[in-house]
Every structure is written in structure tokens, then in C-alpha cells.
A = this chain, B = another copy of it.
Amino acid sequence: MINVIDGGVTAPKGFKAAGVACGLKNNGKKDLAVVCSDDIAVATGVFTTNLVKGHSLQLTMNHIKKGYAQSIVINSGNANACIGGQGNKDALEIAELTAQLLQCNAENVLVGSTGVIGIPLDMSKIRSGIKTSIANLSAEGGHEACEAIMTTDLVPKEIAVEIEIQGKKIRIGGMAKGSGMIHPNMATMIGVITTDANISHNLLDKALKEVVGYTFNRVSVDGDTSVCDMVLILANGKAGNEGISEEDMEYRNFKSALEHVCTYLARMIAKDGEGATKLIEVKADGAATPDDAYKVVSAVAKSPLVKTAIFGEDANWGRIITAAGYSGADFDPTLVDIYIGDLMVCQNGCALKFDEDKAKEILKEKEVTILINLKKGNYSDRIWTCDFSYDYVKINGSYRS
């Protein structure tokens, strides 16, 4: 039984956070977040597979290796990437200054930066931001931290849930930013998850990696990622449960709750895609292999032609079968059924006379499901994306300016 409760990363016991505007963003909005646990927490993360890696992200990958952390500092407005040696120094200074103020070890501080690539961080602003944030840390600060990691996001994305494990109420809170990644490869997302559960590092790591695989890595696609992407989780054990150390029912319950958090945040990211007017869920059924199912949903969800058609509320299923056809998946085109919502629009690879008014009605909704049934095997996959509108071009045509 998973209860959704108010709040985000500070909903679990023993976590404080703050978010401040230190001047990295020109518009005066919050741009620096600190999240910290009262004590050292078990920690793990999932990081970009991009060959190019931001300097802050590299430091975090290094610090998290030992499996513990206490604090996370994230700035928005400016990525710390492709700067050379100065970028590494800046990331380290952020960790050291935070550690000094929190009286912890710099190795227990994780750092994230997101925004424009190739411009050095303005460290005088960052320093003052860290000081103000830490002075303002509070158990009610989750929402402000969530606002401070936003870039082109229109809405803050946070959630908290509560479940009972080993006779104790444990909580998981999360926040994420995602600039939309209309194109999957551009998933410039950062996610921070906190929990007061007592859980072994091995199982926390396993649960996070599995859950991210079918939530955050199924937003628009691919697992291809930007140079600053990361999802971090801290578990501080303050809930007082005995400890999750085996893959038993308690572990599965924890993982379900984590999945709930990540699914919610992942869907929020797709829904808040740059310029998006609709959330699109693309499903494949009946694939011969898991890889075929993935290839189909991935190609359909990436296709700008499919996404512009959905924006135009046009049931142009020809573009859907075309994308499936070039996806590289193996299937028989003459077996394929396609549904938009619950309306079948293509049967056995052929046009169907369907009710265009009903299709229009389905496409007018804020959430649209596309199902491609390959009728060839037993594997499925699904992915979340969004439609493609004028505003995507507007937002991305002048991002640096």
C-alpha cells in the first residue's frame, strides 16, 4: 500500500534542503539547491552514458564510489562542462566549501550543474549561494530546492510517498528537472531521491538501476543522455526499520514505492517537455523480443513527424507504421494493428475506416496513448514522450541568448 503524501525530498525523516537565487539565472529565479541528510547516508546514482561528461558530474561519480554521501549541491543556469581544468577545480571547491559549512567530509558532498555548456561557473555567485542555502536549510525546504534546479521546466516536479516496511513507516521523496528532451538524446535531466529507509548499499543500487531503466530511461527514449545527467539517491535509515538486506517482500515493497516516485517524475518530465501540449505514451505489444519492442516504441516516440501530427490532433497513423518500419525491429507489416487511445486505426497493416471525429476527440485530450500491436510474440515496452509544437522551436532557437 503506497500512500502519496505532501512534499518532496525533505518528506523523509532527517533530510533538510534549501533553494536560493544566487544570480546565475538572469531572471532572478532560484538557481542553487542544497539537499542534505542529518547523518551520512547510503548513496548511489545513475549517470549519463555520454562520452562527454560535465566536470561536476565527474566529481560526483568519483565521490559516490564508496557508497556514502551526506549532501548534494546542484546549480542550474550554467552547466559546468567543457571548461577544462578550471571546471574540475570549481566542482571540487563547491564540495569543499559545502563540507566546511556542514562540517562533513568533502568526499561526502555530491555536485550537479545544469545549463549552458562551455561557460565557466561564476564562483563568487556560487559561493554566496552555498552559504545562503546552508544558512537556510530546513525540513520544509524541499520545494524551494526543487524550484532551484529547474531550467526551462515550467513546473516543479516533486513527489513523496509513504509505505510500511518491517513495521515502520518509511518515506521516499523525489525531485527532478528535465528540460523536455523532445528528442530522447537530449535528456538533460537531474533527479534527486531521498529516503529514510534502512537499506543495504547493494540493494539500494540494484533497486535504483532497475527502476531507472524503465522509468527515467523510458522518457522519450534511449538511455542516451546529456553531459550532465544524473539520478542520485540517499538513504539515511532514520525511519528505524530493521534493515533491507535481502531480495524479499520488503525489498520488493521498497522497490515498488521507488518505482512510483520515479514513474511520476518521469511522466512529469515528458508532460513538461519543451513546448509540449500533450503527454504521449507509446506502447508496443506482441513483439518477438524485448529489443524489438524497445526499437518500435523508441522510433515512434522520436519521430518528429508523429509528434507534430499529435500536436495537430491529426490521426496520421501512416507515420506511426512508417517509424515502426524503419526502427530496425523485426516484424511482419501485414500483421500490425495500431490504436490511438482505444480506437483501432490500422488493422493487419491496412487502413481501417475509423471514426475521424472520435479520433479527434481522443487527440484533444492532454494524454494520448498510441499502441502498436505487432502480433508476433509476447514482449512489450512503453515510453513517454510529448508532442512537438511551435514553442519547442522558440525555446531552443535562442537558448543561449
By Cβ-Cβ distance, the 3 closest A-B pairs, closest first, are: A117-B318, A312-B397, A52-B325
Give the contacts of A326-351 with B (CB-CB under 8 A).
326, 329-331, 333, 346, 348-351
User: Chain B's nearest CB lies how many Å from the CB of A322?
Assistant: 6
Give the contacts of A384-401 with B (CB-CB under 8 A).
388-390, 392-394, 396-401
Cα A53 to Cα B325 in complex, Å, equals 9
Q: Are A303 and B401 in contact (CB under 8 A)?
A: no
Q: Are B318 and A82 in contact (CB under 8 A)?
A: yes
Q: Are A397 and B227 in contact (CB under 8 A)?
A: no
Measured CB to CB, the nearest residue on chain B to A318 is: B117
Cα A82 to Cα B401 in complex, Å, equals 46
Q: Are A326 and B388 in contact (CB under 8 A)?
A: no
Q: Residues of B contacting A305 with CB < 8 Å?
A: 183, 186, 396
Other contacts beyond A82-B346, A304-B304, A308-B393: 11, CB < 8 A: A83-B351, A84-B351, A117-B322, A183-B302, A186-B322, A227-B322, A309-B399, A311-B393, A314-B397, A390-B394, A392-B393
Give the contacts of A33-60 with B (CB-CB under 8 A).
49-53
- A399-B316 CB under 8 A given contacts A304-B304, A308-B393, A331-B51: yes
Number of copies of chain A assembled together: 2
Cα A72 to Cα B394 in complex, Å, equals 42
Q: Taking the complex as formed, is A321 at the interface, i.e. its CB lies under 8 A from any CB of chain B?
A: yes
Q: Residues of B contacting A118 with CB < 8 Å?
A: 317-318, 346, 350-351
Interchain Cβ contacts under 8 Å between A and B, 29 examples: A50-B326, A51-B324, A51-B326, A82-B321, A82-B333, A83-B350, A84-B349, A84-B350, A117-B321, A183-B303, A185-B299, A185-B323, A185-B326, A186-B304, A226-B322, A227-B321, A227-B322, A227-B325, A304-B392, A309-B397, A309-B400, A311-B393, A312-B396, A314-B397, A314-B399, A315-B400, A316-B399, A389-B393, A390-B390
